[in-house]
Homo-oligomer: A and B are copies of this chain.
């Protein structure tokens, strides 16, 4: 990936609405090669897709909760089940298997504490955890879907 591809990616990761001709102008290329590059980035899977970003407040999910989970069932079956559960819960927007102290980390979005409590109760009926702990975000200071292009 040369500097043109990087610039294109930076722009599209910020905003994918402008026309190819506009992108081309900003990266210092003419439309045709710029269009070809975008096609290539999509075909090679560097660009996975284009999505609309919604406002959490406006969708009434202004509260972010991080849930750390320990389990005593370290078998693939348990994880597979839990994976399905996580996909069912739309409130779970991120889900990682961790190293170290904690086994799993979830990011959950809900309207408020009360709604989180409801979510929490539903969650623990769907899977067995040996230990589960919740941390609440008071403020979202930065959130971006744009990944750095510096490491390529």
Is B141 a contact of A86 with CB atoms below 8 Å? yes
CA gap between A137 and B68 in the complex, in Å: 12
CA gap between A48 and B91 in the complex, in Å: 19
Q: Does A40 contact B (CB under 8 A)?
A: no
Q: In chain A between 36 and 63, which residues have their CB closer than 8 angstroms to a CB of chain B? A: 44-56, 58-61
Is B98 a contact of A152 with CB atoms below 8 Å? no
Shortest C-beta distance, A107 to chain B (Å), equals 8
Q: Which residues of A contact B (CB under 8 A)?
A: 9, 12-17, 44-56, 58-61, 64, 66, 83, 86-87, 90-102, 104-105, 109-111, 115, 135-152
Is B50 a contact of A54 with CB atoms below 8 Å? no
10 residue pairs, one from A and one from B, having the closest CB atoms: A90-B148, A95-B142, A12-B52, A96-B137, A97-B139, A60-B151, A95-B141, A46-B58, A16-B52, A99-B136
Is B142 a contact of A86 with CB atoms below 8 Å? yes
Q: Which residues of B have CB within 8 Å of A49?
A: 15, 17, 52-53
